[in-house]
Structure 1
Amino acid sequence: MNPQELRAWRTLIALTTRLPAALDTQLQRESGITHFEYFVMALLSEEPDHRLQLSDLAQKANASLSRLSHVVSKLERLGWAQRMPLTGRRGAQAVLTDAGYRKVSAAGPGYLECVRGLVFDGLDADQTEQLLTLGETLVAQLDKGMTRGLGRSGRPSSHLALDPTESD
């Protein structure tokens, strides 16, 4: 990486490490749930009948089916979600219960205040648009790289020089 790429990379790492941790801290302190649990319940709350096939929910939540299944099991134990078999098809749906809807609704205002205070209060409209454009571009690049096998288990890793003076 050249010095500018290295600086941008380290900034991205700081953002992707610190922001989720701050959101987790806020949600756990105020609502007793993790950011991922909140996100899954929020996604379900936006769906018709508050239900979604697990594989579709995993995709929307940017999670593996295994990770999502683990969280849905926890939400089931807490009475905030339940699994329902798909009629005539393989798989299951996650359904947000009334108690789960109340939980995510109660956590929402504090969560949104935290997101605004941590991110959007420091950006003007143009910067927010730039963030959206960069985010969409980076997600598309991530998907493209993962389609090629990068960042997935079973693929041999190659040497990536983080020090711009380092060579292969």
Structure 2
Amino acid sequence: LQIERKVESPPDELKNLLKAARCSRRRRAWSCEHDPPAKCDDPFMTVSTPGLVCAHHHLYSALARGMPAPPRTPGGFQEILELVWWRLDLALDLETIEWSAKLGALEALERGTTAIIDHHESPNAIEGSLSVIADACQEVGVRISCAYRSGLRRATD
């Protein structure tokens, strides 16, 4: 996997996306730390609930859409890991980790999720990666608990 250019930061566009997510017509969610909305001024709102919790996420997977296809069709779960996910997490740097966390958190918030438990791995950007994810989620307005996966999946690395 090769990333050819860095994404330019669109702060105004991101703010508009965040505002739209918080005012989503599909579902309104509120953090348990706050009271529910007193009234609904949106005639299209169909449900109002306390925020949902996503108990298992990989926020960096938000980048998988639009990825080039693997060099061959994976023949099983191990090959899916090797040809797709491990290639992606090897390509991550702190900037792409930040933007993937913002995108994943934003998409979760749009669907009523206000808390995420994230399982992260970025072998080439370990130092500070969990802080970057936490800060990105805080900016979006989603609570996060994240952990870094460590293991011996690549004996030659």
TM-score (ref. length: structure 1): 0.27
Q: Which has the higher contact order (CA 8 A, sep 6+)?
A: 2
TM-score (ref. length: structure 2): 0.28
Higher-Rg structure is: 1
Larger strand percent: 2
Larger helix percent: 1
